[in-house]
Amino acid sequence: MCGRGRRDCWIEDGPEELTRDGFIPIIRYVGSLRSCGAFSIGGKNMEDIIAKVQQSFQKAFDVDPQSVSIDTTPDDVVGWDSVGHLELAACLESVFGVSFDVDELMEMENVREIVRILQLKLNGA
């Protein structure tokens, strides 16, 4: 469950955004999963990605995973400083089986960016 107290539903929504990695879709909130159903983006279920990100936050910062939403920023999490950021990155790498380069670590300024980067990595971009 996400910070809103229910399962949230996010979908790809145009227009696409140009990044250094090429074009990626904009992701927007469309409501509860109860109303839109589970779905996958590029073969990865978005609900699973969010749940694993929440799990990583719990491991790194000992926070309630339900308190972490797509809108969470470092200001919302005690301990999400430069050292905490590295701990979070290590947890994310372990949970998702990926590794991040320095540029990706610098771009992870909030949960939305973390999800975007993971989405690119998991979809082989």
Strands (E), the chain: 8-19, 22-32, 40-41, 44-45
Structural domain of 47: 8-122
Tokens of 81: 């400083």
Question: What is the chain's Cα-based Rg?
Answer: 14
Per-residue pLDDT for 6 more than 60? no
Residue predicted with more confidence, 17 or 102: 102
pTM: 0.66
Backbone angles phi, psi at 40, to 5 degrees: -125, 155
| Cβ–Cβ under 8 Å, residues 57 and 63 | yes
Tokens of 123: 């979809």
Residue predicted with more confidence, 108 or 39: 108
- Residue 107 belongs to a domain: yes
Q: Give the pLDDT confidence of 29-79 residue by residue, as tens digits.
A: 444 333 333 344 444 577 889 999 999 999 999 999 999 999 999 999 999
| Cβ–Cβ under 8 Å, residues 28 and 13 | yes
| Cβ–Cβ under 8 Å, residues 11 and 30 | yes
CATH of the domain at 118: 1.10.1200.10
- Residue 2 belongs to a domain: no
